[in-house]
Amino acid sequence: EGVEETYIMIKPDGVQRGLVGEIISRFEKKGFLLKGLKLFQCPKELAEEHYKDLKDKSFYPKLIDYITSGPVVCMAWEGVGVVASSRKLIGATNPLQAEPGTIRGDLAVQTGRNVVHGSDSPENGHREIDLWFKEGELCQWVPAQAPWLRE
């Protein structure tokens, strides 16, 4: 029934600025299911694989430097429609164009420091979760609030 998973990552600026709790809280409060969570220093090769579709862009080297510049928070979230809904919660790539109420709209000012990543399709959700998490790092569980989120 349309259950998807998405890879959400708090980028190094979000961690350095003390926004980890605030950002996790938005997904938690929405009612999606947290399946994986870790603080992680991303190696360059992994950043390059994650952003491989952008490797011909002029900003790519800076993007790789940024993502590997400090710890990130890696998350796997599950839910019906979680991919598109998370992109809405995150807001537009350029934080100055992101709507107020979105994470980027509320918490960031520049594309190169836009605090959070979210997968752009269910296929990429699977791909990115496989890329960033090892087997055994994800939990299958039913939260106590489940009957109060979905009838």
CB atoms within 10 A of CB 37: 16
The binder of ligand DAT chosen from 26, 35, 50, 117 (CB under 6 A):
117
**Minimum CB distance to ligand DAT smaller for 52 or for 134:** 52
Is residue 123 part of the contact set for ligand DAT (CB under 6 A)? no
Catalytic residue from among 117, 128, 129, 132: 117
Is residue 50 part of the contact set for ligand DAT (CB under 6 A)? no
Kind of pairing, strands 33-40 and 116-118? Answer: unpaired
**Which residues neighbour 109 within 8 Å (Cβ) at sequence distance 6 or greater?**
95, 96
- Closest Cα to residue 29, out of 132, 148, 151, 118? 148
Is residue 48 part of the contact set for ligand DAT (CB under 6 A)? no
Residue 59 counted as an annotated binding residue:
yes
**Contact at 8 Å (CB) between 80 and 3?**
yes
Q: Which residues are catalytic?
A: 117
Q: Where on the chain is the footprint of ligand DAT (CB under 6 A)?
A: 54, 59, 63, 93, 111-112, 114, 117, 120
Give the annotated binding-site residues for ATP: 11, 59, 87, 93, 104, 114
